[in-house]
Amino acid sequence: MLFANQFDKTDVGNSELYYISQEMGEVYNPTQGDLVNYFKENEIPYGPEEEIIKIAYSYGMHFYENDDLNTAAYFLSIAATYVDDEELNKTLKDISQKMGNEE
């Protein structure tokens, strides 16, 4: 539950954590860094699957080159969530301008 809480805090999850803390006493709430270290030490994959990001980027560029800007923006936004790339950001800005969504 603590790991999931790093990505999406929900009322249900927080209620469960509160209940556990009442039953057991204080619950250790690791930081993001603690989780990353734990996953590395135990060879557990952490973060987005690299192949998914590559697929999203490839699809996005395909649709961009074929002037399907809505679909291109969708896929490229997925990639941009995980990758800070100047060319990718430039392409997304171009799409936004072409669609009339000047930033």
Q: Angle CA(72)–CA(84)–CA(10) in degrees, nearest 5?
A: 85
pLDDT at 5: 60
Q: Do residues 103 and 93 lie in contact, with contact meaning Cβ atoms separated by under 8 Å?
A: yes
Domain boundary assignment for the chain: 2-41, 50-98
* pTM for this predicted structure: 0.62
How many whole angstroms separate alpha carbon 69 and alpha carbon 95? 6
Question: For residues 68-77, b (16+ Cβ closer than 10 Å) or e, as one string?
Answer: ebeebbebbe
Mean pLDDT, residues 16-28: 78
pLDDT at 31: 83
How many whole angstroms separate alpha carbon 64 and alpha carbon 61? 5
Please state, as a whole number, how many other Cβ atoms lie within 10 Å of the Cβ of residue 14: 12
pLDDT at 6: 60
46-63, pLDDT tens digit by residue?
878 899 999 999 999 999
pLDDT at 27: 67
Of 47, 52, 46, nearest to 79 (Cα)?
Answer: 52
